[in-house]
Structure 1
Amino acid sequence: MTVISKTFLKIPEVFLMEIGFIGGGHVAQVLASLFINAGHSVVLTNKHGLDRLKPVIQRLGARAEAGNLAEVARQELIVLALPYKAIFELDQTLFNGKAVVDATNYFPHRDGEFEQLTSHQLASSELVAHHFKGAKIVKAFNTIPVANLENLARNVSDDKRIALPIAGDSQVKATVSDLIKQIGFTPYNVGDLKDSLKFQADTPLFLFSGNRNELTAKFAK
């Protein structure tokens, strides 16, 4: 990976990453735009055909391209930005050995009944990890409406930035935490993937935005 200067990103020693998105909708587009602004490159795919992504790629600019599933899977970091139920239509071996961010939310009325999830036997991201057994997975970017992300990003001190909860594989968590900082937020380490139960769509953390102290208080309730 290439190192770019702090004069470009205002962050010392930022390593450029190649980031793939499964999904080309609003979540993928907003996150891709933030990552591109931080100097990274992105590859997006969707199930509707790459022609549908041409206007999106044009808006995102030279650091973005459309690709098929195999091309997305070759990127250093893969973001799942598609309806939750669609995850289980993907090949279970697609992300073997890869770093994966689960940015999805499980909604029973849309995604169908998963008894292990509605009973909280498993976090929704744990079920994703069970599907992609060879992947290293973290949960992130799922709590704040994506439309607000660009407006909430701030180049201010860490304690004043909006904090984004993250949980899962420790190595990937470190990488994604750096990415969260680069796009103007504070990473909030919740723990292992099981702990992502605490900030799913059926919790008080969903749609909540606050700094580190405010998020700590919210978790304590």
Structure 2
Amino acid sequence: MKIGFIGAGHVAQVLSELFIKVGHSVVLTNRHGLTRLRPIVEKLGPHAMAGNLEQAAQQELVILALPFKAIFDLDPQPFADSAIIDATNYFPHRDGELSAVQTHQTASTELVAQHFPGARVVKAFNTLPVANLANLAQQSRSAAAAKKIALPLAGDAGVKLQAADLMQALGFLPYDVGSLADSQKFQADTNLFLFAGNHAELAQKLT
């Protein structure tokens, strides 16, 4: 699969490296320009390239890996028919006060979907600590099925299948939480944030 990353920070780099290892290719873009991306893609190897926003948006799957508030500075037009994974987290101290999100009237990813009309959006890859993601993937990959680390995802049915395939390729077990509205159950202000547990443990956290 060809995956476009909007953002090229720590989250994008860690996920890119993991996806490349299981056979995918990535296009990274950021607001600082291609020159700043050169050392990153060189480190990732021949299955990574730097591109502009339009090139990243044209990939089979697009992953948002930038500060939540920066999403709303993006031109939505290139994403009109994109399959998008929102891997961001909303933090009020950084992203500003959004009372509807803070009171769980609206999921943060519902606001993302509103910003990209026509796109198909899923919330995923936002809960595990990025600094330990590679180790957790290795641990989960070698575990018995009942012990594999389960990752929540929610949103568009078709994109959930793509996200689930990526999770399984890395060694994780996908856990379908439901619609985009349900994604508020695993935002950064819930007890699933930074939680790494198996299917049964995740289900218990959700109840």
TM range, normalised to the smaller chain? Answer: over 0.9
- Find the aligned partners of 2:145 and 2:26 in 1 and give their Cα distance: 26
Could you give the per-residue CA deviations for residues 9-65 of structure 1, whole angstroms, max 9, x where no partner exists?
A: xxxxxxxx0000000000000000111001000000011111111111111101000
Partner residue in 1 for 2:199: 212
TM-score (norm 1): 0.90
Task: From 160, 177, 188, give the equivalent of 2:164.
Answer: 177
Q: Is the 8 A contact 1:93 1:134 kept in 2?
A: no
Could you give the per-residue CA deviations for residues 93-131 of structure 1, whole angstroms, max 9, x where no partner exists?
A: 221111000000000100011222122221000000011
Does the residue aligned with 1:52 lie in a helix, a strand or coil?
A: helix
Partner residue in 2 for 1:10: none
Partner residue in 2 for 1:163: 150
Q: How does 1:34-183 map to 2 (within 5 A)?
A: 34-153=18-137, 154-156=140-142, 157-183=144-170
Does the residue aligned with 1:94 lie in a helix, a strand or coil?
A: helix
Does the residue aligned with 1:121 lie in a helix, a strand or coil?
A: coil
- Find the aligned partners of 1:97 and 1:54 in 2 and give their Cα distance: 28
- Find the aligned partners of 1:183 and 1:59 in 2 and give their Cα distance: 20
Partner residue in 1 for 2:184: 197
Which amino acid counterpart does residue 161 of structure 1 have in structure 2? K
For structure 1, list consecutive stretches of 5 or more residues without a partner in the other structure. 1-16
Does the residue aligned with 1:206 lie in a helix, a strand or coil?
A: coil
Equivalent residues, number: 204
**Alpha carbon RMSD of aligned pairs, Å?**
0.9
Shift of residue 92, structure 1, vs aligned partner? 2.1
- Find the aligned partners of 1:76 and 1:192 in 2 and give their Cα distance: 21
